[in-house]
């Protein structure tokens, strides 16, 4: 079987999504126009070609292998590409020496154009590189205060020459004073690029807390709940859990990983935590109905409550709520959008079918 073809939605569905510029299909497929030799995202704003002049690909590299070049308007490679090597190298250097002052002159010495770097960080993190560094240093200070460091030491270790300047920056970033930081748990975040679009990953010292698509409608509410109900203070940064989920996600989308091993921390109600634990028992490549999950929990009449807990899952893909479907086989809801849910199920099913031994 052709693994790549099995990842594509039905042809008529892709034609409709292309003609309507449906953003829910970002990363699910790419549109290639035979008459121009160009391939695009489904939501490209360019004039739409006739359906008979179009072919579809599951991955950008397949379109390029077929001789198509990327559209200059919608830039389809930006949707699928990981951070460029020079960004990866820079982030590793920042992790290795968090106190180093990255001036424009130093960036130029490393062959990095400051304006290009600024644009990349604004697009991917919503802030400039230097703002990212400042907030990251404050996040380290937050962790230090949480571990018992004095506010004075945290301020000077962060590069601030005055306590007032440190306090003002701290309050501006975290909306709490340094004196109250010891009561708050640092929650580090980073942005991950996946074939289905960018995701936000957040982790504290105990494990991964959140992994969501950035366009998930409920994301803002989830972040507010983590901060207000569970006492987290959010800051950009990296830790072992974020590094691990980045690696494991890449392996998952490449069809090389079927079980995630990254440590998790899942604050929630007792029932929701039970549901999330049950979701993790659904094997890769299989699905369960809401009723089946409720029955497995010993509450066969709790299908609606299971659906609610499913929707409250903050760890997309890792806690596989996408494997829960309606009793009639319908996809039903999914926070990341049903096209993504269908893609994930096709990916897993295709991998399982390819892995099955041949019958002779």
Main-chain phi, psi angles of 278, to 5 degrees = -70, -35
Query: What is d(CA 63, CA 31) in angstroms, rounded to the nearest whole number?
Result: 8
Please, which residues have CB within 8 angstroms of residue 282's CB and are 6 or more apart in sequence? 288, 320, 323, 324
Cα atoms found within 13 Å of the Cα of residue 329, Cβ hemisphere only: 0
Q: Annotated active-site positions, please?
A: 321
Cα atoms found within 13 Å of the Cα of residue 161, Cβ hemisphere only: 0
* Cβ contact 29:342 at 8 Å: no
Query: What is d(CA 310, CA 313) in angstroms, rounded to the nearest whole number?
Result: 5
**Nearest of 249, 243, 309 to residue 277 by alpha carbon:** 309
* Cβ contact 225:267 at 8 Å: no
Strands 38-40, 69-70: pairing kind: parallel
Query: What is d(CA 334, CA 345) in angstroms, rounded to the nearest whole number?
Result: 12
* Cβ contact 215:197 at 8 Å: yes
Query: What is d(CA 188, CA 59) in angstroms, rounded to the nearest whole number?
Result: 31
- Kind and range of the H or E element at 34? none
**Nearest of 46, 47, 66 to residue 56 by alpha carbon:** 66
Sheet with 30-33, strands from edge to edge, namely: 54-57, 30-33, 38-40, 69-70
């Amino acid at each position: 079987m052709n693994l790549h073809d099995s990842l594509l939605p039905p042809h008529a569905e892709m034609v409709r999504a292309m003609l309507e510029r449906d953003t829910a299909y970002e990363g699910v497929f790419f549109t290639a126009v035979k008459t121009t030799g160009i391939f695009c995202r489904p939501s490209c704003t360019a004039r739409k070609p006739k359906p008979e002049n179009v072919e579809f690909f599951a991955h950008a590299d397949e379109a390029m292998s077929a001789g198509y070049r990327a559209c200059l308007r919608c830039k389809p490679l930006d949707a699928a590409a990981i951070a460029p090597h020079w960004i990866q190298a820079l982030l590793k250097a920042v992790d290795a020496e968090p106190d180093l002052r990255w001036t424009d002159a130093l960036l130029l010495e490393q062959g990095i154009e400051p304006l290009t770097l600024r644009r990349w960080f604004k697009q991917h993190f919503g802030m400039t590189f230097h703002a990212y560094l400042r907030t990251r240093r404050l996040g380290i200070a937050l962790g230090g205060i949480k571990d018992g460091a004095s506010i004075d030491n945290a301020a000077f270790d962060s590069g601030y020459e005055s306590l007032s300047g440190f306090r003002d920056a701290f309050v501006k970033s975290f909306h709490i004073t340094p004196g109250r930081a010891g009561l708050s748990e640092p929650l580090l975040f980073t942005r991950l690029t996946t074939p289905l679009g960018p995701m936000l990953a957040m982790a504290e010292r105990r494990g991964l807390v959140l992994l969501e698509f950035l366009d998930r409608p409920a994301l803002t509410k989830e972040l507010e709940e983590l901060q207000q109900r569970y006492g987290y203070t959010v800051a950009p940064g990296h830790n072992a859990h974020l590094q691990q989920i980045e690696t494991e996600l890449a392996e998952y989308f490449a069809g090389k990983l079927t079980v995630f091993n990254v440590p998790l921390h899942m604050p929630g109600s007792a029932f929701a935590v039970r549901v999330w634990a049950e979701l993790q028992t659904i094997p890769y490549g299989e699905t369960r109905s809401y009723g089946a999950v409720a029955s497995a929990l010993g509450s066969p009449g709790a299908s609606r409550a299971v659906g609610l807990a499913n929707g409250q899952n903050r760890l997309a893909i890792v806690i596989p709520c996408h494997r829960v479907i309606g009793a009639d086989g319908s996809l039903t809801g999914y926070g990341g959008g049903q096209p993504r849910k269908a893609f994930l199920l096709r990916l897993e099913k295709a991998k399982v079918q390819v892995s099955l031994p041949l019958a002779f």
